[in-house]
Structure 1
C-alpha cells in the first residue's frame, strides 16, 4: 500500500542559518509520528513545509504517492493542497476568525471546498463540532467566549472539515492546562482511530508525544538524530540529545543544574562536529 506521507531529505536555510537539514520519514495510513525537539530544533519549520507555509530549499513531500508542489498559485491547487495536509497551531486564534462564530468559521471552510447545499453544510457543521465535543452553544459563540481547550477543539474541527489525509499539530496542547491536555490528546486518539487520518505531532515534550504517537523523530539543531518506535525511544534512548530530553522531565532527584551542564556539553560537541 502506498504510504500516506513520504518526506525525503527536506532542507531549509535562512541565510547562513540551516533550520532543517536531511529530514526524512514515512507515515503509514492511520499512523502517528512525533517530531520532537526543543526550540530551534527545526520541528516547526518542518511542519510549516509540510503544509506549504515554507518552501523547502531541497527535498520532496508526497501525500498518497502524489508530490506536493513547493508552491501553488491557482485556487484549485491551493484547495487540493489544503485537503491533503492541514495544520493546527499552538494558538487557535491563528486559524479562528475573531469576528465569526465557531459554527460560521467551520461552515465557511465547507463552502470554500464546494459544499453548496446550505442544509447539508449545517448538518456537517453540527457533526464536526460534535466529533470534537462541542455543541450548539459553542457553535454560536465567538472564539473569545470559549475556553482555551474549547478553542483548540474548534480549531481541530475546522481542520477536519476538509477531510485531510494528514493532520499536523504544532505544539497543539502545550498552552493548555494538564487536565485539558489529556482531553485533547484523547480526542486526537479517537479521531485517528475512527477516521484513519495520519497525525504528525510536533512537540518538545516526549511525555505528551507518547500518548498519541507510535514513533518519534528527534531533531537537534535541524538534523534528525534518532527515529524509533515510542516504546524503544522511551526505554532505551540511543542519542545523548534524546536522553537529555527525557532527563529534562522533573522527577525525584532531578537536578536542573545537571541538565543545564549536559546541554552545554552537547551544544559544544555539536558545534565542534559541524566545524
Structure 2
C-alpha cells in the first residue's frame, strides 16, 4: 500500500479571540484542514466569518490562541525571533493581499521590489539575479516596461501580477491569496485566475484562496471550506459543495448570487432564521 504523502499544509484546532466589551470575541474556533501538495483550497465566507483572520494566522500576522500550523510536516513558530526565523517563515508561506497598491513600495519600481526580495533571501548578485527578476516577471506576464514602472504607473491587474511575482520570488511552499481578485474587473479577474492555475500546475505550489465569491473558488480550487461566525460548517470538493450544499449557510451563500428570479427579501428572511437558530445553539 502506498503511504499518503505528508500534507503540504496541516492546520489543527486553530482558535483566535479578541477582547470584547464584556466577553472575548471568537474570530476563529477550532479550525482544522489539510492541503495536499499542489492542492488548492478555497476558504469561503462573508465579512465576519473568520476567513481573513485565518489567512493572517497562516502567515504569522496574527498569533493563534490555540492550535498548530505545519508546513511540510514542520511546525510554524507562533512567534519568530531573529532574521533567520523570519526568513524561514516567509519562505514557507507567502500572502497576496486584496489591494497590492498598499503592499507595494510606491518608491520602488516593480523590478527593484522583486530584486529586493531576492537579495534579502540570499540570491546571487549580478546578472544571475537580474535574470531571475526577469524570469519571475515573465512568469506572471510582465516585461521590461512593467519592471521599470512604479506601482502607480500600472493598472490594478498589473499590480496584482507584480505582487504575485514578489511572493513567488522566495519559492514558498504555500501561497495564501486574501480576496486577491475581488477588486479587479471581471476580465482581469479571469486573467489572474488563469495565471494562478498555470503557476500551480508548473510549480506544484499549494494555494489557499480566501474569498467571499463562490464563482472564483469554483474556477481555481479543488476543495472549499465554508466558515460561518468563525467555525467550519462545511468542507467538500468544490463540485460537490456547489451541486449539493449540506449546510443552510452554504445554501444561503449560493442563493445570494443575483440571477433571474432572485428574491432579496426571501434571502433576508433566510438569513434572519439562520442567525436565530445559531444564537440558540450558542
TM-score of the pair, normalised by structure 2: 0.96
Answer yes or no: is 1:141 the counterpart of 2:145: no
- Residues 183-218 of structure 1: CA deviation (Å, up to 9, x unaligned): 000000000000000000000011110000000000
Measure the CA separation in 2 of the matches of 1:147 and 1:240: 39
Q: Secondary structure at the match of 1:61?
A: strand
Consecutive unaligned residues in structure 2, runs of 5 or more:
none
Measure the CA separation in 2 of the matches of 1:262 and 1:93: 37
Matching residue of 2:11: 7
Answer yes or no: is 1:122 the counterpart of 2:94: no
Matching residue of 2:29: 21
Measure the CA separation in 2 of the matches of 1:120 and 1:262: 58
Alpha-carbon contact 2:101-2:152 (below 8 Å) kept: no
Measure the CA separation in 1 of the matches of 2:205 and 2:197: 10
Measure the CA separation in 2 of the matches of 1:52 and 1:77: 12
Q: Secondary structure at the match of 1:210?
A: helix
RMSD of aligned C-alpha atoms? 0.6
TM-score of the pair, normalised by structure 1: 0.99
Q: Which consecutive segments of 4 or more residues in structure 1 shift more than 4 A?
A: none
Measure the CA separation in 1 of the matches of 2:254 and 2:13: 26
Measure the CA separation in 2 of the matches of 1:123 and 1:5: 31
Matching residue of 2:59: 51
Matching residue of 2:228: 220
Measure the CA separation in 2 of the matches of 1:31 and 1:120: 31
Matching residue of 1:193: 201
Residue 119 of structure 1, CA deviation: 1.0
Measure the CA separation in 2 of the matches of 1:154 and 1:173: 13
* Equivalent runs, 1:1-275 vs 2, <5 Å: 1-15=5-19, 16-274=24-282
Residue 116 of structure 1, CA deviation: 3.0
- Residues 60-91 of structure 1: CA deviation (Å, up to 9, x unaligned): 00000000010101100000000000000001
Q: Secondary structure at the match of 1:263?
A: helix
- Residues 101-124 of structure 1: CA deviation (Å, up to 9, x unaligned): 000000000000001322111100
